[in-house]
Chain A
Amino acid sequence: MTQLTGHSSALDFAQPEPVDMASGKYVKLWQGPQHPGITGNMSLELTLDGDTIIDCKTHVGYLHRGFEKLMERRSFIQNFTVVCRIAVPEPTFNEYLYSHAVEQLSGIKIPERAIWLRTMNLELMRLASFLMWIGGMSGAFGQYTVPNWTTAYRDFVLDLFEEMTGARIYHMYIVPGGVRAGLPDGFEKRARDIMDGAEKLLDQVERVMFNNAVFKARSKGLGIITPDMIDPYGIVGPNARACGVERDIRKDEPYLAYDQLNFETITGKDSDAYERAYLRLQETRQCISLIRQCLDKAPKDGPFQADMPNVLHWKIPAGETYVKAECTRGEYGYYMVTDGSEFVRRVHVRGPSYTHAIAVMERLAVGNNIADIAGLMVSLHTYPPEIER
């Protein structure tokens, strides 16, 4: 049993001591893929000593669809419809990054209005994603009221998406060259109403969830991430910020309209499940503020799409690029290589779930009670479809 204390053990990547399964002292337990406590379709192979986890192995591959291969045989315009399916609860980040990479390689400059609409779209997505996550977090600790509130409220945000983009889940709104449409009439008012309601809801959530004795008792001290783990494990986003590491691409290397938005990076002190959850709650509030700023500042008219070639035989000059953006879970990146043909030569999608759900999860699970494994997993905010693509 490895206890994560101090600097040296955090960097200790040695395999845990092999356990003698034949002794009958230990039990091997598969949690998932069919298990309600798992976020999505993946599984954990747990070795238990009593109800304490002494070893955890993550198994993925249940959702592998071969996106990176699929993209190599679709044209540049077709791919943006495919990539959004990579991370189901948060498709727009894929759309944005894919489009951004293509625009970089082909030298397209998108118009101002598209930049703002994209920013707003991404922030709305962040809000929707966090709202669902809060529900998941609460549900993982056995409380079913908050999920009912926030998941239902997320639906109102999805209604906004539906109006803005024409779809609820896979918006396919951010397209290489800009966005597909402007805002519909009356959108701004409805969006502001929903933001007001969300703010009120978050206050209530904070009260009943974060001040809940049971939730506090179970989540505090659960799965502590220490600052020295950040770089070796490649931890990003709220998971990293919760232990005081100020790391936010929106601030560090501003993209889209983030340099014109007024916000501060939120950090925590010690990154346990509670701290991470609370930080996300605050980021959800920040989201609302950012969306309001976008609504204020976004140009009301003007072009929303750059001049495009005929997309049916769109060739992009040879080149390579890496583009990144801050999604709800941290740095999301696209590495793209083109060879001057009508198809992309290679795309690699770097989702933050990969490290969080595999290396970090395997490390943090050890020593915890089996009942907390679901909560721990949710607190890392991982999406299996994004791990395997």
Chain B
Amino acid sequence: MFKKTLNTEDTLKNSGLTDEEQQLFSNARPQAYEPYPIKAVEDFANWARANSLWILAFGTGCGAIELRPLMTARFDANRFGVAGRPTPRQSSVFVIGGYASVKTLKRIIRSYEQMQGPKFVIALGICPVNGGMYFDSYNTVNQFDQYLPVDLYITGCMPRPEVLVAGIMELQKKIKAGECNGANLYVENFDWYKSNQKKVIKNWDMPDYNW
């Protein structure tokens, strides 16, 4: 079995796991993304990132319904460098498709944490903004940015593919300008995010951070 990797000083508790499972996961804290020291190189990297936005194929809510038209012939998002990927390890954009139920939120967090940095989150629809349709439901979270950093909100119910395209372009603009630092925000406010997450996810049987 794997050896427990010990970080230098500040380590995660992974307290949701059994002793046996603790062996399976790292307890190292996530690290913020450091831009390249040379600005031109960083700019080039941002340009490249902006033009190859790979979306994690995880339809978390109703929003997924408009991703199909977006990715197929009519709106053909591939021409903007957008592609769907089956696994978090290959993806750079997480599209929160509307509401997140508590059970899904847990999977969203795991998937998000597994994504390689720099990574970006787009939230579709009204529900992640302020609860939307399910603001009084017992099983959905209302303000999504309490649990994960969101780089861009696209309001609508559902947001049409056209506005998704517009949103992707906006995201590209932001990435190129180097303004998308949601992932770093997550690292910086890690404890705050974790405590919020744990407030709603009662059966926290997963490592504190997956990578």
Contact = CB atoms under 8 A, between A and B. Distances in A.
Interface of A: 33-36, 40-41, 61-66, 69-70, 73, 82, 85, 88-89, 132, 135, 147-149, 151-152, 154-155, 158, 168-170, 385
B84 A36 contact: yes
A156 B68 CA distance: 14
A130 to B, nearest CB: 14
A40 B64 contact: yes
A41 B104 contact: yes
Contacts of B86: 35-36
A36 B136 CA distance: 30
Residue from B60, B62, B136 whose CB has the most chain A CB atoms within 10 Å? B62
Contacts of A69: 137-138
A8 B44 CA distance: 66
B16 interface: no
Nearest to B111: A34
B57 interface: yes
Contacts of B103: 61-62, 64
What 9 A-B pairs are tightest by C-beta distance, nearest first?
A: A152-B73, A152-B74, A151-B72, A34-B58, A148-B73, A36-B57, A62-B104, A36-B86, A88-B62
A155 B136 CA distance: 32
B61 interface: yes
Contacts of A65: 99, 101, 133-134, 137, 139-140
A66 B138 contact: yes
A70 B136 contact: yes
Interface residues of B, number: 35
Nearest to B72: A151
Contact of A64 (B73, B88, B101): B101
A148 B77 CA distance: 12
Contacts of A132: 68
Interface in B8-58: 56-58
A377 to B, nearest CB: 14
A70 B57 CA distance: 29
Residue from A65, A69, A73 whose CB has the most chain B CB atoms within 10 Å? A65
B152 to A, nearest CB: 20
A68 to B, nearest CB: 11
A170 B101 CA distance: 20
A142 B65 CA distance: 20
A33 B59 CA distance: 9
A33 B160 contact: no
Contact of B104 (A33, A66, A85, A158): A33
Residue from A88, A135, A170 whose CB has the most chain B CB atoms within 10 Å? A88
A148 to B, nearest CB: 4
A274 B73 CA distance: 25
18 contacts: A34-B57, A35-B57, A41-B59, A61-B103, A62-B101, A62-B104, A64-B101, A65-B139, A66-B139, A73-B136, A82-B133, A132-B68, A135-B72, A152-B69, A152-B74, A168-B66, A168-B158, A169-B62
B157 interface: yes
Contacts of B101: 61-65
